[in-house]
Amino acid sequence: MKSKKTHRSPRKYRREFGGSIEFTQPQPTHIEFIDEEKLYGFPVHQLIHFRLQELSIHQDDKTVPPDELVLFYPSAMIVLKGWRLENLVGPLASGRIARIHAERHLGALMLGEAWVSEVLVFPEVPESAPRRCNCCCQSQ
């Protein structure tokens, strides 16, 4: 008897919750990043640091996401583009985010809610990227 293996594409994950971000009360061990084709998972505690910045090209084209949040892990760099990404910083730092997925088309956005339109995962961290933060990792 053959067993059927079911493969869930990242597109199917999107239907299980609304919006771009899924928060959780118990701290998850991993955070999932979902783009149009793949699902990536990284241990929450391995986040080295992050950088939030405004995209300069947004000023010329209002349909382009204004924010970019770059997350640095030992084995990858993840770039999130979207709206109101500053609202992710607190939950991200406290480990309350379980899943972030890209939604290209801006839907019904709640006031104050972050919206991620693009998730880019670079498996190798560029040499110019710091491997450790400057605050708590100096003594290690």
Say if CB 68 and CB 55 are below 8 A apart.
yes
pTM comes to 0.72
Task: Decide if pLDDT at 53 tops 80.
Answer: yes
Q: What is the pLDDT of residue 2?
A: 46
End-to-end CA distance of the chain: 54
DSSP state of 111: T
Q: What is the DSSP letter of 4?
A: P
What one-character DSSP code corresponds to residue 128? Answer: T
pLDDT recorded at residue 94: 87
Does residue 78 have a pLDDT over 50?
yes
Q: Which amino acid is present at 103?
A: E
Cβ-based neighbour number of residue 79 at 10 Å: 14
Q: Could you read off the pLDDT of 82-139 as tens digits, one per residue?
A: 989 999 998 898 888 999 989 877 666 566 788 899 999 998 765 665 555 444 444 4
Confidence label for 59 from pLDDT (cuts 50, 70 and 90): low
Q: For residue 139, what pLDDT is reported?
A: 42
Question: What is the spatial distance between Cα 72 and Cα 6, in angstroms, rounded to a whole number?
Answer: 32
3 state SS of 59: helix
Please give the pLDDT value at position 19: 63
